[in-house]
């Protein structure tokens, strides 16, 4: 759900002289720098437009595995030195991979930003890991999969949500990859992936902090400008039908005492700024489960006490067809199917009867208040700009998207609820193994 990103995305009102500048280098790297002078720190995020939806059958987990190997050194910066350098400068760094992107980030004293950017520019073009390091890291990744997916009820649930909802391999596979593939990936597979997708014209650099925007763009140009652009491979065809026969699957987990359920609907993403339904879907997620006064919380958790928890999520900005996901845990003595029926009844009530202006107003006022109180995260500001730029929009579209979220009407919410039909749906149930 994008609203939580917007909640964290804005800075406290900045001085009038603070500015945001962007520039695309001749090699295709887009650089965005936002000045935020409240503290002498800066956040740098380097977004590569490659994730699990770009992978092929038998090679799942490539993007995530390469993320790990990006810390294994270059001829200039041996394995482990990147992290030690950032730490010695008093900063923090990490990375993550999702379905659409791989992102590397550093939080650093603003004065040390050029040194961090130099490290990123070096590993954009000079990654050089050994076969032994690859084999060691793949053991780490397989253990990570065991902990986060196979030994986690929630992890199993989310993996099966995508397996159950889609038919194309690139849409179904987990970001971390299937265990069989994690045993057969080779070091050369990762090197080829790096050569194909790690290029300036397939990346966006975002900096937010106590910096001079023009000078920072010049620094980025000097560090990254000499890296050649590449021809990236054709992207996978991610199109899937929104409507098909309802899908249902069950699995088990030894680490939960109560069943976990997911009810997922194939819905449209935001493709252009004047689309109405995606904004309404985003607000609908808040109406259903955004806070303690939402419908699921007030009616199912506290009212009927049929659920221990119910959540809803939707990704407004998505390269592929997103899912409107509802996840829940039934209360004791309540069957998973009974709770699914109650969830569907709440959606059907909105589809048939709509919502009142007061209910919508409460959600929108709460969202606006949350935005005001949370205008304090440089990382979130950078993250939203990066997501917009890598998913087909511009960072300057943020204000218009927020405006349109606040302009959603009750009739839009009703139309969005009408999209959540059985022929768009999939159900996943994770049951305790002892049952």
Distances 366 to 256, 290, 292, 406 between C-alpha atoms, Å: 33, 10, 11, 11
Rounded distance between C-alpha atoms, residue 337 and residue 28, angstroms: 51
Of 35, 55, 67, 101, the catalytic one is 67
Distances (CA, A) of 74 to 82, 114, 122, 127: 10, 18, 7, 5
Helix/strand/coil for 78 = strand
Q: How far is CA 336 from CA 154, 162, 325, 328, 339, in A?
A: 15, 19, 16, 9, 5
For the question of residue 359 being annotated catalytic, the response is no
Q: Which of 97, 70, 64 is nearest to 82 (CA)?
A: 70
C-alpha dihedral sign at 421, 423, 424, 429: positive
**What radius of gyration do the chain's Cα atoms show?**
23
Measured distance between the N- and C-terminal CA atoms of the chain, rounded to whole angstroms? 33
Q: How far apart are CA 425 and CA 435, in angstroms?
A: 26
Residue 333 region by backbone torsions, left for phi larger than 0, else alpha for psi between -120 and 50, else beta: left
Q: Are 291 and 415 in contact (CB under 8 A)?
A: no
Report the alpha-carbon distance of residue 84 to residue 229 in Å, rounded. Answer: 29
Is residue 178 within 8 A of residue 60, CB to CB? The reply is: yes
Place of tokens 């252009």: 272
The candidate with the shortest Cα–Cα distance to 306, out of 331, 288, 327, is 331
- Rounded CA separation 267/413 (Å): 14
Greatest alpha-carbon pair distance for the chain in Å reads: 65
SS3 per residue for 4-50: HHHHCCCECCCCCCCCEEEEECCCCCEEEEEECCCCCEEEEEEEECC
Q: CB within 8 A of 202, min separation 6: which ones?
A: 28, 48, 49, 50, 230, 232
H helices, E strands: number in the chain? 17, 11
* Catalytic positions, written as ranges: 67
């Amino acid at each position: 759900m994008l609203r939580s990103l917007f909640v964290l995305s804005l800075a406290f009102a900045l001085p009038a002289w603070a500015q945001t500048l962007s520039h695309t280098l001749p090699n295709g790297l887009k650089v965005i720098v936002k000045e935020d002078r409240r503290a002498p720190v800066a956040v740098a995020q380097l977004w590569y437009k490659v994730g699990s939806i770009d992978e092929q059958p038998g090679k799942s987990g490539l993007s995530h595995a390469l993320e790990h190997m990006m810390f294994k050194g270059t001829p200039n910066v041996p394995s482990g030195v990147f992290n030690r350098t950032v730490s010695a400068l008093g900063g923090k760094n990490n990375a993550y991979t999702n379905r659409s992107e791989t992102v590397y980030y550093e939080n650093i004293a603003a004065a040390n930003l050029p040194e961090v950017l130099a490290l990123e520019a070096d590993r954009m073009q000079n990654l050089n890991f050994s076969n032994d390091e690859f084999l060691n890291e793949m053991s780490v990744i397989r253990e990570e999969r065991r902990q986060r997916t196979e030994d986690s009820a929630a992890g199993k649930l989310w993996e099966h949500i995508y397996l159950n909802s889609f038919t194309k391999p690139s849409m179904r596979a987990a970001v971390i990859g299937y265990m069989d593939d994690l045993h057969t990936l080779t070091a050369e597979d990762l090197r080829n992936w790096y050569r194909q997708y790690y290029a300036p014209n397939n990346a966006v650099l975002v900096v937010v902090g106590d910096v001079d925007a023009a000078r920072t763009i010049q620094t980025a140009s000097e560090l990254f400008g000499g890296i050649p652009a590449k021809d990236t491979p054709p992207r996978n065809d991610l199109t899937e039908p929104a409507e098909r026969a309802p899908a249902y699957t069950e699995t088990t987990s030894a680490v939960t005492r109560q069943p976990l359920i997911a009810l997922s609907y194939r819905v449209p993403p935001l493709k252009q700024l004047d689309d109405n339904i995606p904004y309404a879907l985003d607000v609908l997620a808040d109406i259903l489960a955004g806070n303690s006064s939402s419908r699921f919380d007030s009616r199912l958790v506290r009212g009927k006490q049929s659920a221990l928890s119910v959540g809803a999520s939707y990704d407004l900005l998505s390269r592929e067809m997103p899912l409107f996901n509802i996840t829940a845990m039934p209360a004791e003595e309540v069957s998973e199917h009974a709770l699914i029926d109650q969830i569907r009844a709440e959606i059907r009530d909105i589809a048939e009867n709509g919502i009142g202006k007061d209910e919508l107003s409460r959600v929108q006022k709460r969202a606006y208040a949350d935005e005001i109180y949370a205008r304090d995260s440089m990382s979130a500001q950078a993250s939203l700009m990066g997501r917009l730029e890598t998913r087909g929009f511009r960072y300057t579209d943020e204000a218009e998207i927020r405006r349109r979220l606040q302009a959603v009407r009750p009739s839009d919410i009703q139309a969005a609820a009408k999209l959540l039909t059985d022929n768009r749906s999939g159900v996943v149930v994770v049951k305790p193994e002892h049952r």
